[in-house]
Amino acid sequence: MALFKSGNPALSEKKFEASLVGNAAEAMTERGTMNKFIFLFFLLMSSALLTWKAYFEGVNVMPWVIGAAIVGLVLALAISFRPHWGPYAAPAYGLVKGVFVGGISAVYSDAFAAVAPGIVMQAVALTFGTVLAMYVLYRTGTIKATERFKSIVFTATAGIAIFYLIAMVLRLFGVDIAFLHEGSLLGIGFSLFVVAIAALNLILDFDMIETGVKMGAPKYMEWFGAFGLMVTIIWLYVEMLRLLSKLSSRD
């Protein structure tokens, strides 16, 4: 069923179809998913604040950030392939990604303290403003997750992922793609494009969660849905930071 196509690799057709249950009392709900997302967000913020504090106390948190990125990837893959591990792996993912987000945020805050002292708070505000706006657009039906819409967003997301992977490999060989980091018009334009695609992925995530609820997916899929939504929001936040840093570098 193409209905389940999502740009977020954490949310896919097979995960929901393979987990359908007949007992409504044991089925996934939107409220349950949101409650679990709030819990994951609390865990993320807790570890992010600790990492932030450590950075400004002089601790080198970059090894933490790199380790968190690796462990976070492993946990994400585990949850994606084994959704029933969600009740245990999703909270661990929230804590680990909090270390990553806190470290990255501290580095950006320090690096742009002179030219953009509020860059982190701006990124946070823009991220959650975007999440709220996309939710309203989805709920009002202004933007609908049609098959064509899903295909376009999925293709664009896959293209971005492949491009980032190529850029990482090239960097290992000393080849850097300048516009990924510089504040040129091309660099800013690219970041705006990526932010837009990340935002549109939220529509697919909202639709996926709603569809899972309608199909009667089991309770543990609430963790899976909350995890998938968090993946997109973290991506959106990091891209917001990159965009703001590029804009600040032009001043």
| Whole-number pLDDT of residue 116 | 79
- What pLDDT score was predicted for residue 3? 33
Determine the pLDDT at residue 180.
Answer: 80
Please give the model's pTM, rounded to 2 decimal places. 0.89
* Run means of pLDDT, 10 residues per run, the chain, 251 residues: 42 54 72 96 97 96 95 94 93 97 96 88 96 96 93 94 90 80 87 96 94 90 94 96 89 57
- Rounded CA-CA distance 223/110 in Å is 34
Q: DSSP letters along 98-151, please?
A: HHHHHHHHHHHHHHTTTT-TTHHHHHHHHHHHHHHHHHHHHHTTSS---HHHHH
Domain boundaries, the chain: 19-249
Q: How many CB atoms lie within 10 A of CB 64?
A: 20
